Copies of this chain bind each other. A is one copy, B any other.
């Protein structure tokens, strides 16, 4: 069976690496000839909205998925006329616009930060009156890694923020003084079977994920149950198939949904070594219609992103138990180039190992 993947970055590469042992083959579609999934599978170089290329792509694959959530919904719908597309295009649509997404969460009874749409400076002033300061002004679409958002702290911040972002539809969100950021990677099979990895604690800097700890330290059954109940509502409402990631804020023991990604997720990379079946394998099992694999963690794990530059490989490999994953991408400031995973039997052992890796996280 050949899986067609829209997007040919690191998530696609890791899907293929998980899928080859299951006997699957892969074809990627990406506008860039440098897309690094092309190192290890066929690559169709085309824009995501090129109907002829989509047609040719559909003809040579059995099933379509994506590793990038900003694929045009119309393209996913076009492909769905020819081949099964998982997750469903509706999930793309729900996740591409922060306003639609938050309304969708609220409609399911999932807690979120307060929010208001903003289409003019007057509406921004009104929204700030309603939500108070500080607050976060975000573009509704195409934000990632902290791009397309600004924190408003004083009334004088409103006009410059509007001038910087206001050409696009915006959303103002309550600023959450969270205790920590968590994420849940969930998966739903074609038969409706559900599985959830343990919650992960995420640490960002400059809007980019730097470190994930899995399972999240001090994780309680109650917290895990609340997060799973959120994900279950989302997965079932969308008749979802595949892996979905849900980003959450924890504040005073309460979980607020921040956003979702209808795909495998950076905060789930630890599962390659740290779980019985990785998020990549489980995404493939789900979309092909195979039984899901165990999401149980094998110890305490840490995943460190390599951002902007690649450390000396032999220096990383000499740290016992450090698992290196490079993405085959050219270095560029702020770019995710790889990650390192550690899995240890206890938190103490993990912390000792993490100290060895400090030089690589700067």
Partner of A317, one of B40, B285, B323: B285
Are B40 and A324 in contact (CB-based, < 8 A)?
A: no
Chain A positions near chain B (C-beta within 8 angstroms) = 13, 16-17, 20-23, 25, 39-41, 276, 285, 289-291, 293-294, 310, 313-314, 317-318, 320-321, 323-326, 328, 338
**Given contacts A16-B40, A17-B17, is CB(A23)–CB(B317) below 8 Å?**
no
- 8 Å CB contact of A290 from B25, B310, B314: B314
Structural contact, B317 and A294, CB atoms closer than 8 A:
no
| Copies assembled | 2
Of chain B, the residue at the smallest CB distance from A319 is B291
* Nearest B residue (CB) for A322: B293
**Hey, which chain B residues are within 8 Å of A21, CB to CB?**
17, 323-326
Chain A at the B interface: SS class = mixed
Are A314 and B291 touching (Cβ within 8 A)? yes
Cβ contacts under 8 Å, A317 to chain B: 22, 285, 290-291, 293
A317 to B285, CA, bound (A): 9
Q: List 19 A-B contacts (CB under 8 A).
A: A13-B20, A17-B17, A17-B20, A20-B40, A21-B324, A22-B313, A22-B317, A22-B324, A23-B310, A23-B313, A23-B326, A23-B328, A23-B338, A40-B40, A40-B41, A285-B317, A290-B313, A293-B317, A294-B320
Which single residue of chain B is at the shortest CB-CB distance from A36? B20
Known: A23-B338, A40-B40. 5 other contacts (CB 8 A): A22-B324, A23-B328, A25-B328, A276-B320, A294-B321
How far, in whole Å, are A285 and B13 apart by their CA atoms in the complex? 21
- Cα(A125)–Cα(B338), bound, Å: 63
Within the assembled complex, what's the spacing in Å between the Cα atoms of A317 and B19?
Answer: 13
Name the B residues within 8 Å of A276 (CB-CB).
320-321
Tell me, in angstroms, the Cα distance from A39 to B290 when the chains sit together.
22
Bound: A78/B138 CA distance, A: 61
**In the complex, chain B residues whose CB is within 8 Å of the CB of A22:** 313, 317, 324, 326
Query: Whole-angstrom distance from the CB of A224 to the nearest CB of chain B?
Result: 20
